[in-house]
Amino acid sequence: SLPVSTWPQAGRYPVFSLNHERGQATRYYLRIEHARVHYSVMPRVMSDVQLTTNTQLEHLLLGAYFGLAALVILLALINATAYRDSAFACYAFYIATFAAAQGAFTGVASLYWWPEWPALNNPAVFALPLVAMAAAMLFVRAVTTPKRFSRALDWFSLALMLLLPMLALLEVAHPTSDSFALINSLIGASLVVVLMLITVALVEGDRHARWMALGFLPIIVATLFPLMRNFGVLRSSFLTEYALMLGSAIEAPILFYGLLRRVTQGREPTARATA
């Protein structure tokens, strides 16, 4: 609720120094406001050296992920323009929204993107994952074109894809415990629909769907950790915080390679006919 510039020490999370005087007892009062998410992590006390080491390692990992995301987005946009392929554009949009959601979730956004507007933190953490999930469904629909196999599944995925951003707007305007439960339920349902779209394409013999399946597998597994944390099944841990980021780092190059194969193989008959 406070701008980062007013914090005792700027960072992704609140950090403050304890009394360094030895032999003197000091009492600290800490109030934690965590209205809707199951709270399962305790404050940590560490030395200045430990704090510096941890911060440097975290920023190294975060920099690697966001650098990879930026590179993939740029290459996808270049390919979308060069090949005039909408799937690459949808892929770039999906990676961009997913990276934005991770930036809000990990505190990178509050530290670097909008440090003086703390009112954006909570809405971004809960709304951006819905937009990213809608972008994922848009991307899968663009690649698998489910209306070739099942118009009912195609219309259902389209309706769910439109419902997710609407729920994000509702979450920003009026966040409640019920809306938080609905967010997690719809994200879980969206993952099932994405699996159905890819599975149907695989069964129908779409040779490019196997790359979609291979690419989305790590992100689907990684999503289970924060979802189970939100439902109170798991305690907060490294995996609940960083599993999605690790899954995305594995997913991004696989999907990019699959899209590139799809475009080149699709253009090969045209090139032969032209020759």
Q: What is the pLDDT of residue 63?
A: 92
pLDDT tier for residue 270 given thresholds of 50, 70 and 90: low
Q: What is the pLDDT of residue 177?
A: 79
Q: What is the pLDDT of residue 1?
A: 81
Comparing 259 with 20, which gets the higher pLDDT? 259
CA distance 252 to 95: 8
Report the candidate in 255, 224, 219, 263 with the shortest Cα–Cα distance to residue 140.
Answer: 255
Dihedral sign of CA atoms 239, 240, 246, 251 in order: positive
CA distance 184 to 228: 9
Among 116-130, 135-149, 207-221, 256-270, whose mean pLDDT is lowest? Answer: 256-270
Q: What is the pLDDT of residue 66?
A: 94
CA distance 138 to 221: 20
Condensed to tens digits (0 to 9), the pLDDT of residues 50-99 reads 988 988 998 999 999 999 999 999 999 998 888 888 889 999 999 999 99
pLDDT tier for residue 271 given thresholds of 50, 70 and 90: low
Mean pLDDT of the chain: 86
CA angle 187, 189, 193 (to 5 degrees): 115
Instruction: Enter the tokens of residue 154.
Output: 């195609």
Q: What is the pLDDT of residue 216?
A: 86
Instruction: Enter the tokens of residue 110.
Output: 């509050």
Helix (H) or strand (E) holding 164: helix 151-173
Summarize the confidence of residues 23-41 as an average pLDDT.
80
Instruction: Enter the tokens of residue 116.
Output: 């003086």
